[in-house]
Amino acid sequence: MSYLFRFAVLASLVAGVAWWQPWRQFTDSLHREPGFREHVTDEYRLAYPSEWTTVRKRDRQGTFWEEFNGPATENGAYSGQARVAAWTRWPYQLQDKLVQYRASAGRNGYRILKEERIVVKGAVAAHRFEVAQQTRTATGALVPLRGTETFALTADHILVDLSVRAPEKDYGTTRLPQILASFEVRQAPNGLIDKVKNG
């Protein structure tokens, strides 16, 4: 078998592995409570109540969000909601995103109540804001909301933003804590295959 032929075979195998991207797979099972469904992407995974609906949306900046919505309340607000966005080539540090979020919170109608560093499985750094806001529903009602915004950054600069919220009067009885507890991001690549992939 000639050197060139062996090289071509090896190149084909590497290309096939790169297409499959095994480093993007979660290898262990996600703990979720009864009544929860697992949602898995290349960048993150979480569990959400099985009766909630899911929809993919795009905001004014062109960012895609995966949205998980609980049943509507009598005033038109969702009984609970989770939204997730991921940037696969975040070129900055996590601190830059936090500064950006603090600066824009007021303009976007958020009031930051608390913030803290946290641990998110798979992330090298993570931070969570507890926030309050108001939203106008389709019924015309002005509903106070409470929620959190979680930012998690991986070693290979994937940034994931998980936002959860619910009407303030029901916040203590929602299943948002279970969603937050299940949230994980993909760990950074490592090993020989990943070295080939990353050059």
- Pick 51 or 20 by higher pLDDT: 51
The tens digit of pLDDT for each residue in 79-120 reads 999 999 999 889 999 999 999 999 999 999 999 999 999 999
Q: Distance between CA 169 and CA 143 in Å, rounded?
A: 9
* DSSP three-state, residue 159: strand
Distance of CA 24 to the CA centre of its chain: 15
CB-based contacts of 190, cutoff 8 Å, min separation 6: 23
Q: What angle do CA 70, 72, 73 make, to 5 degrees?
A: 120
Q: What average pLDDT does this structure show over 122-126?
A: 96
CA distance 167 to 74: 11
Whether the predicted pLDDT of 9 surpasses 60 = no
Note the pLDDT of residue 16.
43
Show the domains of the chain with their CATH numbers. Answer: 25-188 (3.40.1000.10)
pLDDT, tens digit, 9 for 90 and up, residues 34-79: 899 999 999 999 999 999 999 998 877 778 899 999 999 999 999 9
pLDDT in tens, 137-163: 988 999 999 999 999 999 999 999 999
The confidence score (pLDDT) of residue 191 equals: 45
Q: Answer whether residue 14 shows pLDDT above 90.
A: no
Between the alpha carbon of residue 32 and those of residues 36, 53, 121, 150, 174, the distances in Å are 6, 17, 15, 19, 16
What are the tokens at 117? 């560093």
If one compares 22 and 125, the residue with the highest pLDDT of the two is: 125
The tokens describing 53, both together, are 């609906």
- β-pair type (44-49, 159-167): unpaired
pLDDT digits (tens, 9 = 90+) for 163-189: 999 999 988 889 999 999 999 999 766
Distance CA 105, CA 112 (A): 7
Q: How far apart (Å, rounded) are the C-alpha atoms in residues 84 and 111? A: 20
pLDDT at residue number 157: 94
Q: Cβ atoms within 10 A of the Cβ of 111, count?
A: 11
Q: Is the pTM of this model over 0.85?
A: no
Rounded-to-integer distance, Cα 79 and Cα 44, Å = 24
Q: What are 46's two structure tokens? A: 């979480």
Query: pLDDT higher for 99 or 194?
Result: 99
